[in-house]
Amino acid sequence: MTDARSWPTLSPMQVGIRGRCPRCGQGHLFSGFLTLREECEICGLDYSFADPADGPAFFVICFACVPSVVFGIWLEMAYQAPYWVHLVTTLPFMLLTCIPPLRPLKGWLVASQYYYKAEEGRRVLKGEA
């Protein structure tokens, strides 16, 4: 393996959204749709540091689900649409605006954790530092 100091600094936005390794920018970040690999196949970076938790889902809920629900409510209030109309309009709209952004958002959060060297917080008692 090459020394970590020889890797170029890569933008979390560029590598994360494409699902690439935050260190080398070449290896894959995911082994499935949202499943992280154990390590990069190119540079060997261990992805165990990454824990985006519910971050991607939170962003999707805030920015995609709300407009989808507003659309469904508007459709119901304006036209009193039957259920089948919601099945062919609101449901596909909700699925298309909520599922595709999950992977790029998760990749961006993982790459940001690497870039900013984020780690679990710990309590420092008085006199330790």
Residue 129 domain-assigned?
no
The candidate with the shortest Cα–Cα distance to 89, out of 74, 108, 111, is: 74
25 found inside a domain? yes
Tell me, what's the pLDDT at 121? 79
Mean predicted lDDT score pLDDT of the chain: 91
pLDDT of 3: 52
In percent, how much of the chain has pLDDT > 70?
95
SS3 at position 64: helix
Predicted pLDDT at 124: 83
Per-residue pLDDT of 26-76, as tens digits, reads 999 999 999 999 999 999 999 999 989 999 999 999 998 889 999 999 999
**Residue 32 domain flag:** yes
Range of the domain at 77: 4-115
- Residues 6 or more apart whose CB falls under 8 angstroms from that of 13 comprise 108, 111
Q: Are 68 and 98 in contact (CB under 8 A)?
A: yes
Tell whether the model's pLDDT for residue 128 goes beyond 80.
no
List, as one string, the DSSP characters of 3-60.
-GGGSPP--HHHHHHHTB-TTTSSSBSBSSSSPBPSB-TTT--BGGG---TTHHHHHH
User: Is 101 domain-assigned?
Assistant: yes
Q: Would residue 123 count as lying in a domain?
A: no
Q: What is the pLDDT of residue 104?
A: 96
Is residue 125 assigned to a domain? no
Q: Check if the beta carbon of residue 14 is closer than 8 Å to that of residue 6.
A: no
In 3D, which of 106, 2, 128, 17 has the Cα closest to residue 56? 106
Does the pLDDT of residue 21 top 60, yes or no? yes
Number of domains the chain contains:
1
pLDDT of 106 over the 50 cut:
yes
Residue 124 lies in a domain: no
**What average pLDDT does range 13-18 have in this prediction?**
96
Percent of the chain clearing pLDDT 90 (strictly above): 78
